[in-house]
Structure 1
Amino acid sequence: MEAIFIHIRILDLVDIFLVAVLLFMLYKLLKGTAAINIFLGIVAIFVLWKITAALKMQLLSDILGAFISVGIIAFLIIFQPEIRQFLLALGTPSFLGKYGKHFAFLSNWFESSYETDTNPVVVACRHMSNIKQGALIVITRQNELQQVVNTGVIIDAVISSPLIENIFFKNSPLHDGAMIITQNRIKAAGCVLPVSKKKLPRYAGLRHRAAVGLTEISDAIAIVVSEETGNISYCTGGNIRHNIEPSTLQQKLASDLGLDSEQADTESVQENVKKD
């Protein structure tokens, strides 16, 4: 008499857990895009194939198995942008923390501080917000985005609020692109960023989509000043927070860049703003 009990090893449980984590990360990555429906459809067909194989429904199992085999090639073609985005994100230290709160402690092992003078950036954003002057500022972390820097005009200058405001002045030839700040210097301006396909609010313009698009595939920080409303938006990890105050901007920059209180002095920023 055949045993009716299924023998489950510890490795089987680990296998199931790892597959569940992988599917969850893929779902979080594709959520909000048109590809999510295709992804769920492929998962459903795969589960149905395994069920028919377990029930020994040979004909249907063979048909679904052939479809899955051919579907791998179709999967790579259809999801080429998403797979590229996933692999790029996989190389960032914050990947585990980004796609699973329960794994955030692992990303802390790789966290570093990035020496960046954020005060001129915050002051410039406050000034540009008051006069509704559009801007898109990117602060790099581990990934220095050299491929993005090469699309703009190299500046390599010390960070200062007058320079930032002058670059994004409406009559400036570089005001439409993004400014890249790396290693505490303004590396380039007028840079071209990838645009996100994620569903965003209607009031989000091209600058907001570019900020989300870049932070989806890198560990950079993107700051957007809206030309229509003057609102300041803050974007990391493909997530954007709209309408934040300069003091909140200062705190988030200090936290995400690993700066101490002396490097990111909010009070000094507020004093500079009051002088205007």
Structure 2
Amino acid sequence: MLDRFAVLHSWLSLLPPFTKTSVLEIIILSYFIYICLLWIKNTRAWQLLKGILVIFTFTAFAVIFRLSTIVWLIERISTAAIIAAVVIFQPELRKALEQLGSRDFFAKIFPEQISTDNSQNTVEEIVTACFEMAKKKTGALIVLEQKQSLREIEDTGIRINGIVSAALLINIFEKNTPLHDGAVVIAHNIVTAATCYLPLSEAEISKAYGTRHRAALGISESTDAVTVVVSEETGGISVTLQGRLIRIPDRETLRSYLPDNRKEKKGAQRPFLGLSFLRRRGEKR
């Protein structure tokens, strides 16, 4: 037992002395780690980072099992891989540096907490707005944020930060108005931005669908967002999520796809059974 304490004491003696300066350094390092994690969360860097983690896992596997040929190849391409990573992350790194020099940097780090108690009211306002616009064949594109941040999408448009209401959404998408072109982003029961640009999907879809539907599919392929589309040509309503385009026949079906109604309820054994039936119903139409 004494030998173990001696070994432990010898290890501790190798550490630098713990002083007030050490506490300050720990705080500064913790802050910068937090900033890096926040940056990764709010950009597409997280998707790229997962790919890098897969490569590191494969490298560790090759080293542990002594796959000499693979290790030799990894060593040769490691320098080029570092340069490639910098090139891949270039837009995100540039944006991070721009934010670092902006005046509202701390406001973005510590955003104002917004209540989510009125989420059911938000759903009803969206449903009402969509069916009112469908009657008049007013095109609309509404993106609802879920777990994955849509900060990059919001930055492409004009900030609104208004409480969700049917009247506000209808006014935004009214034809020949400054904000009607592009997508509206809704997060935490707030219309955060309008005229936002969405990535277009490259998937093959029916020619009956237009650019709005392709944009809605594009955002559903790269994020977990739920997007509602109102067709300007037909007045039809569709929803996209997880790379799928689903036609919506009535109000109840639309409610079932909006995020507030898709949350898992406590004690429910199969919470998405009804949802899967509605998906099949929507796709057949």
- TM-score w.r.t. the length of structure 2 is 0.50
Paired residues for 1:1-276 under 5 Å? 116=119, 117-253=122-258, 254-258=260-264
Give structure 2 stretches of 5+ with no counterpart.
1-76, 89-115, 267-285
Which AA in structure 2 matches 1:168? F
Answer yes or no: is the 8 Å Cα contact 1:114–1:183 preserved in 2.
Answer: no
CA distance in 2, matches of 1:222, 1:142: 14
Answer yes or no: is the 8 Å Cα contact 1:195–1:214 preserved in 2.
Answer: yes
CA distance in 2, matches of 1:119, 1:173: 25
Alignment RMSD, CA only? Answer: 2.9
Partner residue, 1:102: none
What's the CA shift for 1:114? 9.2
> CA 1:154/1:115 → structure 2, altered by over 3 Å: closer, same or farther?
same
CA distance in 2, matches of 1:147, 1:213: 14
SS at match of 2:127: helix
> CA 1:235/1:114 → structure 2, altered by over 3 Å: closer, same or farther?
farther
Answer yes or no: is the 8 Å Cα contact 1:233–1:240 preserved in 2.
Answer: yes
Deviations 1:103-160 (A, max 9, x none): xxxxxxxxxx996321100000010011100000000001121000000000000000
- Please identify runs of 4+ aligned residues in structure 1 that moved more than 6 A: none
> CA 1:138/1:114 → structure 2, altered by over 3 Å: closer, same or farther?
farther
SS at match of 2:256: helix
Which AA in structure 2 matches 1:251? S
> CA 1:158/1:245 → structure 2, altered by over 3 Å: closer, same or farther?
same
Answer yes or no: is the 8 Å Cα contact 1:157–1:187 preserved in 2.
Answer: yes
> CA 1:168/1:189 → structure 2, altered by over 3 Å: closer, same or farther?
same
Higher relative contact order (CA 8 A, sep 6+): 1
- TM-score w.r.t. the length of structure 1 is 0.52
Partner residue, 2:55: none
What's the CA shift for 1:243? 3.9
CA distance in 2, matches of 1:242, 1:203: 12
Identical aligned pairs, as a percentage?
A: 38
Answer yes or no: is the 8 Å Cα contact 2:248–2:254 preserved in 1.
Answer: no
What's the CA shift for 1:251? 2.0
CA distance in 2, matches of 1:257, 1:138: 17
Answer yes or no: is the 8 Å Cα contact 1:115–1:259 preserved in 2.
Answer: no
Answer yes or no: is the 8 Å Cα contact 2:173–2:179 preserved in 1.
Answer: yes
SS at match of 2:147: coil
> CA 1:183/1:176 → structure 2, altered by over 3 Å: closer, same or farther?
same
Greater Cα radius of gyration, structure 1 or 2: 2
CA distance in 1, matches of 2:228, 2:117: 17
Answer yes or no: is the 8 Å Cα contact 1:154–1:187 preserved in 2.
Answer: yes
Which AA in structure 1 matches 2:140? A
CA distance in 1, matches of 2:117, 2:229: 20
CA distance in 1, matches of 2:264, 2:149: 16
